Structure 1
Amino acid sequence: MPKGYIIGHITVNDPEAYREYVERDTPILEGHGGRFIVRGGASETVEGQSERRHVVIEFDDFEAAKRAYHDPAYQEVAEIRRRTATSTIILVEGT
């Protein structure tokens, strides 16, 4: 069965406030079986435009990724990210 992923491309505008998002989102997403594959770190945009930070969270399947993202507890915490960063969040089915 194909894996599911939440992929985030993020530019943090308020690092102090964003820290709360990271602290609170991690247990929620891990509780849905999420495994952080990429979380920040060095990156190089070789084509096109990009945000500064990248996150890839792997789930057992696409439906699990969707459930995690749409979890009301996660959506409450996501409001912190929306206030403190510019982001694009993508749900994708992988291999």
Structure 2
Amino acid sequence: MSAYIVFQREATTDQQALDRYAERADSTFAGHDVQALVDYGTFEVLEGPPIEGVVVLRFPDAAAARQWYHGEQYQDVVQDRFLGATYRAVLVDGADA
């Protein structure tokens, strides 16, 4: 069953750190079966507080998503995201047919 990591950027706190993260984040996908379905496209908040952007990544299953997220390569890069902005990240199973 596919699994998705949904990132919501709530507020930018350090643009330089966020820029460093953006430059390196895609390189962490190497060796992982991941597809970016949404990458900061146009959006409309229908409920809840405002956000700055959304990313949705699809993985073959939750184990693969966790392997990427908790992997050494991403954990090195994500430190700049933590410095650069406040995010909410959620791992959710898909509803595959």
Question: Could you list the runs of 4 or more consecutive aligned residues of structure 1 that deviate by over 6 angstroms after TM superposition?
Answer: none
Describe the SS at the equivalent of 2:55: strand
Alignment of 1:1-95 (within 5 A): 2-10=1-9, 11-95=11-95
Question: How many residue pairs align between the two structures?
Answer: 94
Instruction: Give how far 1:51 is off.
Output: 2.0
Deviation string 1:31-84 (CA, Å, 9 cap, x unpaired) is 311111001021111111242110000011111011111001111111100000
Q: 2: distance between equivalents of 1:12 and 1:45?
A: 17
TM-score, normalising length: structure 2: 0.86
Higher mean alpha-carbon deviation, 9-18 vs 55-64, is at 9-18
Consecutive unaligned residues in structure 1, runs of 5 or more = none
Q: What amino acid sits opposite 2:52 in the alignment?
A: R
TM-score, normalising length: structure 1: 0.88
Distance 1:34 1:48, change over 3 A: same
Instruction: Give how far 1:16 is off.
Output: 3.4
Q: 2: distance between equivalents of 1:59 and 1:49?
A: 28
Could you say what the CA RMSD is over the residues aligned between the two structures, in angstroms? 1.4
Given that residues 7 and 55 in structure 1 are in contact (C-alpha distance below 8 angstroms), is that contact kept between their aligned partners in structure 2?
A: yes
Q: 2: distance between equivalents of 1:25 and 1:68?
A: 11
